[in-house]
C-alpha cells in the first residue's frame, strides 16, 4: 500500500521478476522488456521508494524551526553530515534569534568555517536573526514569501523549512532530486525550477514532504552522481534514460 492506494498488480509481478532475475544478470535491462508510460513510471518510483525508505528522518539536526532554518542555510554547498558536526557548537552559543543577534558576525564565522562560504553565511545568520526579532516577533514565519525575504534564504531553503518544520506541502529540489528526476525521464533536467514544476505535477501533493526526502536518501545510497552503474540501480535499471552512464 502507498497511502490508501494498493500497489498495482503489474508492479508486484514485475518487481518479483526483477528481484529473481536481476541479481544474476547485471547486464540485463528490464526497461528493454517492459515499457512503462509516465504514470506507471511515477507509481513505480513511489512504490520502490516507499519499500526502501518507509521512514524518512530529517537529515539536519535541529530542535525547532529556527535551528532548522539556520542548519539549512549552512547546508548550501556543504554536506548535511558536516553541518551536523558544526551546529552543536553554534547552537550552544546561541539557539534562538534573540541570542544569535547578540553574537558578532566574526564569532559566528569562526564556528561555521568548516561549512564553507562562512563570510556570507555568518552575515546572513546574524541579519536574519535580527529581522526575525524586528519583523516577526522572534519567530520563524510560516510563509514562503516571508521566508524568502530573509537574508540568505532562497526558494529551496524556504521550501525545506515549510515542509519539514511546518508540514506545508513543498518539494525542495536539491542536486540529488534534480539528477534523479532527469535520469528517470521525469524531467528534462533543464534547471531546478523546471524539475520542481515537474515533480509537483507528477507526484501527489500529499506525498511531497516525504517523497523529496526518500529521493535524497535514494540518490545518496543507490544513484550517486559519480560511480553509478545504471544496471545495478533499483530504479534506473527499470526506467532509466537511454544511454545514461
Residue with cell 534514460: 241
> CATH assignment of 65-164, given 2.30.290.10, 1.10.357.10, 3.50.50.60, 1.10.340.30?
1.10.340.30
pLDDT in tens, 41-80: 999 999 999 999 999 999 999 999 999 999 999 999 999 9
Tell me which fold the domain 9-57+172-239 belongs to.
Endonuclease Iii, domain 2 (1.10.1670)
Average pLDDT over residues 17-37: 49
What is the structure's pLDDT at 9? Answer: 57
Distance CA 71, CA 77 (A): 12
Mean pLDDT of 164-187: 96
Q: Look at residue 31 in the predicted model and tell me its pLDDT.
A: 43
Question: What DSSP string describes 35-99?
Answer: ---HHHHHHHHHHHHHHH-S----SS--SSHHHHHHHHHHTTTS-HHHHHHHHHHHHHH--SHHH
Known catalytic residues are: 156, 174
Q: What is the pTM of this model?
A: 0.83
Domain boundaries, given as residue ranges, for the chain: 9-57+172-239, 65-164
Torsion of CA 171, 174, 178, 184, to 10 degrees: -70
Mean pLDDT of the chain: 89
**Phi/psi-derived region of residue 138, left when phi > 0, alpha when psi is between -120 and 50, beta in every other case:** left
Q: How many CB atoms lie within 10 A of CB 47?
A: 18
In this prediction, residue 244 carries a pLDDT of: 72
Give 100-136 pLDDT, tens digit per residue.
Answer: 999 999 999 999 999 999 999 999 999 999 999 999 9
Predicted confidence band of residue 10 (pLDDT cuts 50, 70, 90) = low
Among 12, 23, 47, which Cα is nearest to 237's?
23
Amino acid at each position: 500500500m502507498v497511502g490508501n492506494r494498493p500497489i498495482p498488480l503489474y508492479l508486484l509481478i514485475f518487481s518479483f521478476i526483477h528481484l529473481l532475475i536481476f541479481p544474476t544478470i547485471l547486464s540485463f535491462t528490464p526497461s528493454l522488456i517492459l515499457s512503462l508510460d509516465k504514470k506507471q513510471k511515477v507509481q513505480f518510483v513511489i512504490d520502490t521508494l516507499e519499500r526502501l525508505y518507509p521512514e524518512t528522518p530529517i537529515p539536519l539536526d535541529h530542535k525547532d524551526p529556527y535551528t532548522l532554518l539556520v542548519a539549512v542555510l549552512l547546508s548550501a554547498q556543504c554536506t548535511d553530515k558536516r553541518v551536523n558536526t558544526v551546529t552543536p557548537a553554534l547552537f550552544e552559543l546561541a539557539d534562538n534569534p534573540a541570542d544569535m543577534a547578540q553574537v558578532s558576525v566574526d564569532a559566528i564565522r569562526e564556528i561555521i568555517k568548516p561549512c564553507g562560504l562562512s563570510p556570507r553565511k555568518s552575515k546572513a545568520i546574524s541579519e536574519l536573526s535580527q529581522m526575525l526579532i524586528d519583523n516577526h516577533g522572534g519567530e520563524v514565519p510560516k510563509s514562503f514569501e516571508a521566508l524568502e525575504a530573509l537574508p540568505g534564504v532562497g526558494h529551496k531553503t524556504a521550501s525545506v523549512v515549510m515542509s519539514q518544520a511546518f508540514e506545508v506541502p513543498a518539494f525542495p529540489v536539491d542536486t540529488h532530486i534534480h539528477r534523479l528526476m532527469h535520469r528517470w525521464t521525469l524531467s528534462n533536467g533543464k534547471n531546478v525550477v523546471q524539475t520542481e514544476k515537474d515533480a509537483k505535477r507528477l507526484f501527489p501533493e500529499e506525498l511531497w514532504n516525504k517523497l523529496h526526502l526518500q529521493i535524497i536518501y535514494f540518490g545518496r545510497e543507490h544513484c550517486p552522481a559519480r560511480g553509478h552503474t545504471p544496471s545495478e540501480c533499483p530504479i534506473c535499471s527499470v526506467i532509466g534514460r537511454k544511454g545514461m552512464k
